[in-house]
Amino acid sequence: MNEKTTIYDIAKALNVTAATVSRALNNNPKISAATRKLVMETAAKMNYKQNKLALALKSGKSNNVGVVVPYIDRNFFSAIIRGIEEELYPLGYHVIICQTHEQESAEIDNINALLNAQVDGILMSVSKLSTQTSHFEHVLNKNVPLVFFDRKKDVKGVSTVTIDDYQAGYNATKHLIEQGCSKIAHLSGDWALEIYKNRYKGYKQALLDNGITFNKDYVIKTKSDIKAGHKSVEKLMTLETPPDAIFSSSDYVALGAIQQLKKMGVKIPDDFCVIGFSNEPFTKFMELSMSTVDQLPVEMGKMSAKVFLEQVKESNVKIEKKVVLAPNLKIRATSTKK
């Protein structure tokens, strides 16, 4: 009734051998209906639960995947994890989560631990401070599928799932131009991460395509927090020709920018438009709801899971898939002039 029951316990109780019990439990055809029924019943009665660990050791498949993100309580990441979990759980996989706190050392540590735990795959977003790639190659050497989502590094053999950040930057900027803005600033992040560089590129191209001269004073690389938004606006507004719009690579920075602009008495959206990035939940709930770019994190998670599954299925061939999802511009109050 109690404690851990094994197939041997069932076998003993029924005066058969463990092999028979195993077969009955696994619906092996070569077994009499009678014994199967008997085994099933006693298994249930003894509250038998299959030890997946033993199975994993035998089969070499743990049915666990590791997910590594900077912080799991960042909505973007937790939404991705949600997507991964919902895609993989029905197939019998479990999701093990790890946090890097944006530290490369933790990233390496996590990956090693996951490899030790014999995960069947690793899905991750690389940490901001990550520079090496050898730990990724370790994963590949062990023939463990590796998938990068959102933040990627260029590593041969790794599949990636991202949104089209270039397009997102382009669309956001174009939208601001269509609202009548012409002096558009861009608050960016560390260009060591492709996502930020690509958003910037899209921004720049949109300007050029619309006959607006690119002004490098309008581009500020900064951290991703509210305070960075305050400071950036302070700096921008002291320029000889201050901007009339901001496209920010981060919702938090955009929020800070809006706060500072309000403080300075700038009227949003009439005199100044703002658009952020990520569609953090709070953007929708601001009195002036914030325009932003939705990265469809749940979808991204599901897609990452699917790419992993393909890789598992085709374990013989090395596939390196690059999935690029379309971003979704959410036009809200902070960039809608009447």
Partner DNA sequence: TTGTAGGCGTTATCAC
Partner DNA sequence: GTGATAACGCCTACAA
Residues that bind DNA (CB under 7 A): 4, 6-8, 15-20, 22-23, 25-26, 30-32, 34-35, 48-51, 53-55, 57-60
289 lies in the site for a second copy, by CB under 8 A: no
Residues near 9 by beta carbon (within 8 Å), at least 6 away in sequence: 46, 48
34 lies in the site for a second copy, by CB under 8 A: no
User: What is the closest distance, in whole angstroms, from the C-beta atom of residue 309 to a second copy in the complex?
Assistant: 18
User: What is the closest distance, in whole angstroms, from the C-beta atom of residue 253 to a second copy in the complex?
Assistant: 13
- Given a contact cutoff of 8 angstroms between Cβ atoms, the answer to whether 82 and 97 are in contact is no
For residue 97, the SS3 value is strand
What tokens were used for 169? 């930057």
Listing DSSP states for 65-84 in one string gives EEEEES-TTSHHHHHHHHHH
Q: Look up residue 291 and give its DSSP letter.
A: B
User: What is the closest distance, in whole angstroms, from the C-beta atom of residue 170 to DNA in the complex?
Assistant: 49
User: What is the closest distance, in whole angstroms, from the C-beta atom of residue 19 to DNA in the complex?
Assistant: 3
Pick the closer one to a second copy by CB: 140 or 219: 140
Pick the closer one to DNA by CB: 22 or 259: 22
For residue 126, the SS3 value is coil
Pick the closer one to DNA by CB: 61 or 183: 61
316 lies in the site for a second copy, by CB under 8 A: no
- Given a contact cutoff of 8 angstroms between Cβ atoms, the answer to whether 277 and 321 are in contact is no
The residues in 71-130 that bind a second copy, with binding defined as CB under 8 A, are 71-73, 75, 78-79, 81-82, 85-86, 89, 92, 94-99, 112-118
Cβ-defined contacts of 46-52 (< 8 Å, 24+) = 46/1, 46/5, 46/9, 46/10, 46/13, 47/1, 47/2, 47/5, 48/5, 48/6, 48/7, 48/9, 48/10, 49/4, 49/5, 50/25, 51/4, 51/6
Q: Point out which residues bind a second copy (CB under 8 A).
A: 1-4, 47, 49-54, 56-57, 62-64, 71-73, 75, 78-79, 81-82, 85-86, 89, 92, 94-99, 112-118, 138, 141-143, 255, 280-282, 285-288, 298
